[in-house]
Amino acid sequence: MAVQINPSILSADFARLADEAKAVEGADWLHVDVMDNHFVPNLTLGVPIVESLSRATETPLDCHLMIDDPDRWAPQYVEAGAGSVTFHVEAAAAPVRLAREIRAKGARASMALKPGTAIEPYEDLLPELDMLLIMTVEPGFGGQAFLDIMLPKIRRTRELISKHGLELWLQVDGGVSDATIERCAEAGADVFVAGSAVYGASDPAEAVRALRAKAEGTIATAGWACRH
């Protein structure tokens, strides 16, 4: 299983986004949190910033849409340069149709679940996706503490992925740090969004490398990965 580390630009200096993107060019993806002050109580980046970032870095953009009406807006983020677009199932009117549209436009399609949203009702949707995001904090703000109660949900999701033999990435987002990444990896995650753990470090690139090493070490001996 290939570990992927996605630094969250939400924790970067917004006055220096191009420089902050370059500071983590050893990362797999740059995670871009899009919030609309409706689906979540915060307002952040939109399509024009994604367009600018896509020109400023070689690192592909992983856009996480915490917004109402993603059925309308998600395709625009693909057109703006995102290589992966995540919509929240709680906000999507037609998640299968939306995932197929994102894929048809050339990006990876991902679906996110809030902490209180169970995975089981969406088992049949998994083949339509390239990635599933399990939120390990309530979406809307960076810097929150990791919710350990999400670990069983990560395990259940990994079991469903294995049950159907899918090559589906399992991402976690929220409170991921050197103190929590191993627990996430052991539970079944292989893609890790890290905000303050990367951009709060004196050397963001080294923080990415350290997080990757911890996750890789754990996955190498994790039961779920050995069975894959």
Residue 66 φ/ψ, nearest 5 degrees: -100, 70
The number of residues in the chain equals 228
Sequence-distant contacts of 178-181: CB under 8 A, at least 24 apart: 178/210, 178/211, 178/214, 180/136, 180/146, 181/211, 181/214, 181/215, 181/218
Give me the catalytic one of 36, 130, 173, 190.
173
Judged by average pLDDT, the poorest of 11-15, 63-67, 115-119 is 11-15
The three-point CA angle 34-200-117 to 5° equals 40
Q: Could you tell me the pLDDT band of residue 5, with boundaries at 50, 70 and 90?
A: very high
Question: What are the CA-CA distances from residue 115 to residues 103, 136, 149, 174 (Å)?
Answer: 26, 6, 9, 10
pLDDT band at 141 (very low <50, low <70, confident <90, very high): confident
Active site residue 190: no
- In whole angstroms, what is the distance from residue 182 CA to residue 162 CA? 20
Annotated binding site: 8, 31, 33, 64, 140-143, 173-175, 195-196
Helices (H) and strands (E) in the chain, counts: 9, 8
Q: Please pick, among 28, 33, 36, 130, the residue that the annotation labels catalytic.
A: 33
130 is catalytic: no
Model confidence at 1, pLDDT cuts 50, 70, 90, reads low
178-210 pLDDT, tens digit per residue, is 999 999 999 999 999 999 999 999 999 999 999
Binding residues for a divalent metal cation: 31, 33, 64, 173
